[in-house]
Amino acid sequence: MPSPSRHPRRRPGPALYAGLAALAGLLLAGLPATASQAADQEACRPDGLYETPGVQVPYCSVYDSAGREKMGPDHQRRVIGYFTGWRTGKDGTPAYLASDIPWDKVTHVNYAFAHVDGGNRISVGADGAANAATGTTWPGVAGAEMDPALPYQGHFNLLNKFKKQHPNVKTLISVGGWAETGGYFDDSGARVNSGGFYSLATNADGSVNQAGIDTFANSAVDFVRKYGFNGVDIDYEYPTTMKDSGNPLDWSLSNARRAGLVKGYAALMKTLREKLDRAGASDGRHYLLSVAAPSSGYLLRGMETFQVQKYLDYVNIMSYDLHGAWNEYVGPNASLFDDGKDAELAAAGVYSTSQYGGTGYLNTDWAYHYFRGSMPAGRINIGLPYYTRGFKNVTGGTDGLWGKAATTTCPAGSGLTKCGDGAVGIDNLWHDQDTAGREAPAGSNPMWHAKNLEKGVVGDYVTRYGFPAGTRLTGTYARKYDATLVAPWLWNAEKKVFLSTEDEQSVNAKADYVVSHGIGGTMVWELAGDYGWNAAKGQYEPGSTLTSAMYEKFKSASPYGAKRATTDLPTQALDIGVDFGQFPLGDSNYPISPKLKITNNTQVTLPGGTEFQFDYGTSAPGNAKDQSGWGTSVIRSDHTGNNVGGLKGDYHRVSLKLPSWQTLAPGASVELDFVYYLPVSTPSNWTVTFGGRTYALAGDLARGTTVVSPGTSPSPSPTASTSPSPSPSASPSTSPSPSGSPSPSGSPSPSNGACTAAAWNATGEYLGGTVVSHKGHSWKAKWWTKGEEPGTTGEWGVWQDLGAC
């Protein structure tokens, strides 16, 4: 598979509750929740979200009975803004403080960044007046007055002060980022190459470092409690097997661990989910867990099937940095769609190689459909950049679009040998320095500065960024827009400068896309780049124009899509494990060729001809196959052909059958070789059919499903004219007990005379709706139960008394 851009997510910096009251009271008192309350909480669990075993997670503190996040009546979709800790104004450049956040327009604020310290703990550095997160103050700045009720100052104080005024807004602590995934900046500003996520999650031999993970997760729980955050956002860039990915400063650590990074990432996220859930159960609130995820097909190809999605409340797609000066191909930073003309993809043969189906994978729509393959639309947020990327010395293309920049040497420390000629100077206001201390050409500007360039305005702020007074612009920055791509840019024909931008037209189009697709919302990097017009000064300055545009689009939108499947699935599920694994590593992983392992965890033998079906996302063409004689075929495609203007549907439906000569005994596994041609996230919406019955699979974690033993079915509800009877269908290989499973003891409770329902068995398992007899009464189970004696669980317990029999 051709390699799309190996680029950073962003510019290096920093120089880079209202749930059920009764349940909450019980939890806070350290008392167990009743089964009824647990069932109520389960009703609020988002579709596909992992459930920590043995924990009564208070989902209803965050989600409604449809599993949708509660964000306030005028927030039907998320607007998540990253707020960075380094724009303090203390260096002379404009400050962007918590008081500048448009709190009435956003739903979540992610503080960027905390880091992983040398002891594998979350940290923002040592406390003190110079610590922007916990110690800095801004005397005389309106809105930045500290809340004296809090024991810390800095950004964290202000975030909590404004949250009191806007209680529907949630804050998350974001950990990592481009510059601090494999290291961190110490209190002097020097970078410490500690290993960060790479070493805390993965040992040098590629094995999982569970001790490091536990240390970090415990510290993260303590951190969110101490500083009032609603959750944790992990920005690990990147746990991929693709060589030389992420920050070049980390390669000495990351490349040696490539074979174990995905496994370590999964262990990290599972541990975080479970520890946050346990803390939430104790605190009476559900703590959020999210990630910033790459959108690049190259990076995602090395992340297997992104198995961590089930642990996340939602994923934020970094659907930007899709083109930039890390190579010579001039294109948009964050186009919504492919137009079939992407010069980088064309050069790599993507459009001409039949296996790809003409699928361009450097656009937001492709990235969304990658994650849609394994998640409901409402658990996905698309990313928008409030900054530019740009080139100079551009030739060819249309007003620079799909042209080429001259090739040149790369910034020191980039790890690259040939780069495109990136825009500099006044076209690179947020200029960073490379490791040699020179300006890193990138065309990186906040959108408010780009708007001034478009208007021919030299803002009064330029001297604070190192430009001399009297600086004049050369040439005209003409705004261009491509409706197919949904991408604006500025083109300076005199300087041959191309700056990829974002503005009201593109943001409104992306917001419409979010609404029409049922997507959860948007995420922006970063809030400080948004713009507003200062009429008195005649210039654009930091503002909230783009964020307000999204708010206006979303405030009256329909609720987001809360179901993963687009067709009805069975409500009974079997415990049959499916896993895609043994992926070849890195650049050897093409075509993508994992082994699909199916494990029968039921008590019956699956016969030859058993059919499995699943969906995979349309991010890959509908040409998946197996090489093991299972007759894999794509039986439905929601999209065919190229993806110019967007993919038209979410799924391809696959059928495969256990060969007629092969059975799968209880506890046994079988593997088959699978092949597909572009990355997909974890295939979902599984069904298995045998013996004339179709079931879902427990591993999908779908709302409304009940795990059963094969061949069982719930009893019909009793009516006035019929006597209740469980009469479950016979299991293919066993005689059922009242639950449909063999009685462990083989000796059920004595019959109760005239009662017609089967006698309750202390070791039996009973599904919701099952009727039993016990001590002269009939009883109906309200939900699954085992070992709870009828007549002892009370009015609100599992057993409903149907009267004497």
What is the per-residue pLDDT across 398-412, written as a single tens digit (0 to 9) for each?
999 999 999 999 999
Count of Cβ atoms closer than 10 Å to residue 395 Cβ? 12
Q: Are 424 and 392 in contact (CB under 8 A)?
A: yes
Q: Which amino acid is at 303?
A: M
- CB contact set of 436 (below 8 Å; sequence gap of 6+): 412, 413
When comparing pLDDT for 4 and 686, which is higher? 686
pLDDT tier at 737, thresholds 50, 70, 90: very low
The average pLDDT across 13-39 equals: 38
Strand partners, 290: 233, 314
Q: Give the β-pairing of 419-420 and 432-433.
A: unpaired
Burial, 591: exposed, middle or buried (Cβ in 10 Å; 0-12, 13-18, 19+)? middle
Could you tell me how many residues make up the chain? 805
Helix (H) / strand (E) element for 232: namely: strand 231-235
Between CA 182 and CA 705, with CA 371 as vertex, the angle to 5 degrees is 115
The Cα 83–Cα 233 span in angstroms is: 13
- Domain limits of the chain? 21-322+363-386+508-554, 323-329+336-355+388-501, 572-707, 723-805
Q: What is the 3-state secondary structure (H, E, C) of 38-97?
A: HHHHHCCCCCCCCCCCCCCCCHHHCECCCCCECCCCCCCCEEEEEEECCCCCCCCCCCCC
Radius of gyration (C-alpha) of the chain in whole angstroms? 28
Under DSSP, the state recorded for 371 is: H
Computed from CA positions of residues 750, 754, 756, 757, in that sequence, does the dihedral angle turn out positive or negative? negative
pLDDT tier at 735, thresholds 50, 70, 90: very low
Task: Indicate if the pLDDT at residue 24 is higher than 60.
Answer: no
Q: Are 9 and 389 in contact (CB under 8 A)?
A: no
236-287 pLDDT tens trace:
999 999 999 999 999 999 999 999 999 999 999 999 999 999 999 999 999 9
The Cα 398–Cα 480 span in angstroms is: 10
Question: What pLDDT was estimated at residue 36?
Answer: 55
Torsion angle (degrees, nearest 10) of CA 335, 338, 340, 344: 50
Structure tokens at 450: 């780009």
Q: Are 154 and 132 in contact (CB under 8 A)?
A: yes
Q: Give the β-pairing of 625-626 and 799-804.
A: unpaired
Q: Are 546 and 386 in contact (CB under 8 A)?
A: yes
Identify the CATH number of the domain defined by range 21-322+363-386+508-554.
Answer: 3.20.20.80
When comparing pLDDT for 797 and 441, which is higher? 441
How far is residue 60 CA from its own chain's centroid? 20
Q: Give the β-pairing of 531-534 and 539-542.
A: antiparallel
Computed from CA positions of residues 439, 444, 446, 451, in that sequence, does the dihedral angle turn out positive or negative? positive
pLDDT tier at 781, thresholds 50, 70, 90: confident
Rounded to a whole number of angstroms, the distance between the first and last alpha carbons of the chain is 69
Question: What pLDDT was estimated at residue 770?
Answer: 83
642-684 pLDDT tens trace:
999 999 999 999 999 999 999 999 999 999 999 999 999 999 9
Buried b (16+ CB within 10 A) or exposed e, 181-213: bbbbbeeeeebbebbbbbbbbbbeeeebbeebb
The Cα 737–Cα 748 span in angstroms is: 8
Helix (H) / strand (E) element for 277: namely: helix 258-283
The average pLDDT across 460-464 equals: 96
Question: What pLDDT was estimated at residue 39?
Answer: 64
The Cα 522–Cα 382 span in angstroms is: 5
Task: Indicate if the pLDDT at residue 14 is higher than 80.
Answer: no
How far is residue 228 CA from its own chain's centroid? 22
Question: What pLDDT was estimated at residue 796?
Answer: 59
73-113 pLDDT tens trace:
999 999 999 999 999 999 999 999 999 999 999 999 999 99
Lowest-confidence segment of 13-17, 53-57, 219-223, 545-549 by average pLDDT: 13-17
Q: Report the largest interatomic distance among the alpha carbons of the chain, rounded to a whole angstrom.
A: 101
Helix (H) / strand (E) element for 454: namely: helix 447-455
Share of the chain above pLDDT 70, in %: 89
What pTM does this model have?
A: 0.86
Question: What pLDDT was estimated at residue 589?
Answer: 87
How far is residue 263 CA from its own chain's centroid? 17
Question: What pLDDT was estimated at residue 59?
Answer: 98
Under DSSP, the state recorded for 139 is: T
Identify the CA nearest to 166 among candidates 209, 111, 109: 109
Q: Which amino acid is at 535?
A: A
Identify the CA nearest to 507 among candidates 382, 598, 629, 415: 382
Lowest-confidence segment of 30-39, 154-163, 334-343, 771-780 by average pLDDT: 30-39
Question: What pLDDT was estimated at residue 799?
Answer: 80
Q: Give the β-pairing of 389-391 and 380-385.
A: unpaired
Domain 723-805, second-level architecture: Ribbon (2.10)
Question: What pLDDT was estimated at residue 504?
Answer: 98
Domain 572-707, second-level architecture: Sandwich (2.60)
The Cα 113–Cα 191 span in angstroms is: 14
The Cα 360–Cα 11 span in angstroms is: 25
Question: What pLDDT was estimated at residue 432?
Answer: 85
560-616 pLDDT tens trace:
999 999 999 999 999 999 999 999 998 888 899 999 999 999 999 999 999 999 999
The Cα 451–Cα 534 span in angstroms is: 12
Question: What pLDDT was estimated at residue 780?
Answer: 86
Task: Indicate if the pLDDT at residue 712 is higher than 90.
Answer: no
Question: What pLDDT was estimated at residue 378?
Answer: 98
Task: Indicate if the pLDDT at residue 714 is higher than 50.
Answer: no
